[in-house]
A = this chain, B = another copy of it.
């Protein structure tokens, strides 16, 4: 049986403040926990229904035992409205700032993405298209928010997500890597000739790209519409369409 203190300790991780203080976060559900266990994240604790433990205990690392709990106990510590078998507590990895001037390929820069589902979907899409670095402005939602982790379906553990001052990074890479941004007007992205590297800025759901970053973008991209009435796309969808277009030559050959 879980002690009240133990339940309380895990429930504190539902809040950003306590995730920041402890350096820990929660990942939940069969698929997401499986991906966490495949990653090089340091998993501190697994709490699961007996069925999950029966099926998975043999594949757990030697230093990690799963604590059995009842569906009622799982519901008390879960962040989900329908808890799914297993909950893990893991350590956030240390922030390692890459040398941006040496980045190869494309990276994403998210300017104020506030919706957890959108950030999660963007990381899942980045992973799909082989984008390994996603820079987030400090006002983006936290990647260890449980809703973000769930929406990534495990991609959060493969894509490097770094919170940083985007203007400063653009200043470092300008002249070395083209900086694109998606706007409601600009060059048709289906006519753009993308090179082998670059940075793509995606603006926030409500305000688009912020004025400071907008002034630093070198190439304004636009995703054309076939409808007279539609005015904008969801940020994660816009991001996916640009990622696909950048990589289209490789995608055709797969």
Which chain A residues have a beta carbon within 8 Å of chain B's beta carbons? 38, 117, 121, 124-125, 127-130, 151, 153-155, 158, 188, 190-191, 223-227, 229-234, 236-237, 240-241, 244-245, 247-248, 250-252, 254
Contact = CB atoms under 8 A, between A and B. Distances in A.
A234 B236 contact: yes
A141 to B, nearest CB: 14
B229 A158 contact: yes
Chain multiplicity (copies) = 2
A153 to B, nearest CB: 7
9 contacts: A117-B117, A125-B234, A127-B227, A127-B230, A128-B226, A188-B252, A190-B252, A234-B236, A244-B245
A156 to B, nearest CB: 12
Given A130-B227, A229-B158, A244-B244, A251 B124 contact: no
B251 A226 contact: yes
A129 B225 CA distance: 6
A39 to B, nearest CB: 9
Given A130-B226, A190-B248, A226-B254, 19 more contacts: A117-B117, A121-B237, A124-B230, A124-B234, A125-B237, A127-B227, A128-B225, A128-B227, A129-B225, A129-B226, A153-B231, A155-B230, A158-B230, A188-B252, A236-B236, A237-B240, A240-B241, A241-B241, A244-B245
A4 B205 CA distance: 35
Given A117-B117, A121-B237, A229 B127 contact: yes
A244 B247 contact: no
Contacts of A241: 240-241, 244
B252 A191 contact: yes
A233 B191 contact: no
Nearest to A130: B226
A226 B253 CA distance: 11
